[in-house]
Chain A
């Protein structure tokens, strides 16, 4: 295995490859061996955050992701919104809202919305627990942890729980003129879930998680 020779690279001054980090945004090369917890290391050229480790981040993320997953399951099964107008009543669950397009012959859109609002956010919570729970406990990474984490980062833009809750707010204003709408427990569960997700994202540092996974695999 001669491939292991360039561990000292063409530039002798650069040192071992393990101590280097390349900025994903501008390709700038940095030597970052250790960043203290609660400090943030940014790229010198484009200021992209490279490492932002937080004290106890793994445990916090696992707990917040578990909370969010429970809230999501509650949001699926409890009543979401109830509309009252002139003695008439209409109730909808989250799944009802998500699948509304299927009644109008737009099944593919319905499935996409179901994935954006419920499927992908829930799958990401589960994926984060799967990848990070062993890290929080100081264990070795679970099987396929790297693949699962790569997937969960890749789908992140498509998990749109926070956008959905703003959509609900807009819809409520739109019907406010002609009917009375009462939010059910699922509405509050979903709103809480969005807050928990935001909190969780504050603890997330992608590169730190990758480094930890890497170190635990080797040890």
Chain B
């Protein structure tokens, strides 16, 4: 396996792309059409050799996600009332609480899902969008892996929203203890949704086009 990968790792990305062959490939079903075809004959999806406006939409959703992430951290995620005592906790506050209870594993899951993944995702998407423009960027396989990780892992940030929903439904013991969702839940859910849309709008074929430009 390694020998094969080594051969591919260098400049030997000599592979005919659909665009160079005067064709357009459908990203939904893989079918190949003449370049000027607008709609896929197999699956009915709209065809585009390269999604030219893709980067603009990536940036727009990314900025929206970033903006929504700020109130998500400032406002409380959970409002707990025990014997009339009201306590508000933010995303990070919730993680610290878990650590105090000694639940290290769960604290880590929540911290990764609500802090590390969203911030890592902002940086990764921005890096991908910038690297598409510059020729000297990292190896295509590296960027491909980053893209796959971002696409795969981004939705998992929704965990914290679900945790809040379950707690709010379950812990309703009148005066003794009650848990209610705070406004940060809305901002956080929006932030996750916006960054998911940002990643979905990214056309990964742009990653590989840099090589093609070098070849010709």
Contacts and interface: CB of A to CB of B under 8 A. Distances in A.
Are A and B a genuine interacting pair, yes or no?
yes
A19 to B, nearest CB: 9
B15 A45 contact: yes
A27 B33 contact: no
Interface stretch (B57-65, B66-74, B123-131, B166-174): B166-174
Interface residues on A, range: 35 or more
A13 to B, nearest CB: 9
B181 A104 contact: yes
Interface residues on B, range: 35 or more
Contacts of B144: 25-26, 46
Contact of A9 (B22, B29, B186, B196): B22
B132 interface: no
Contact of A97 (B34, B165, B176): B165
Contact of B32 (A17, A92, A163, A168): A17
A178 B186 CA distance: 27
Given A17-B33, A46-B208, A210-B42, 6 more contacts: A27-B205, A45-B140, A101-B181, A149-B43, A158-B155, A179-B171
A160 interface: yes
Contacts of B177: 85, 178-179
A109 B186 contact: yes
B18 interface: yes
Helix, strand, loop or mixed for chain A's interface? helix
A219 interface: no
Contact of A146 (B44, B155, B163): B44
Interface string B163-203: 11111111111101100110001100100010010001000
Contacts of A23: 25, 30
Nearest to B207: A26
A163 B169 contact: no
B87 to A, nearest CB: 13
Given A3-B34, A46-B140, A97 B170 contact: yes
A100 B49 CA distance: 44
Nearest to B45: A150
Contact of A168 (B26, B29, B44, B166): B166
Contacts of A157: 151, 155, 196, 200
A153 B200 CA distance: 13
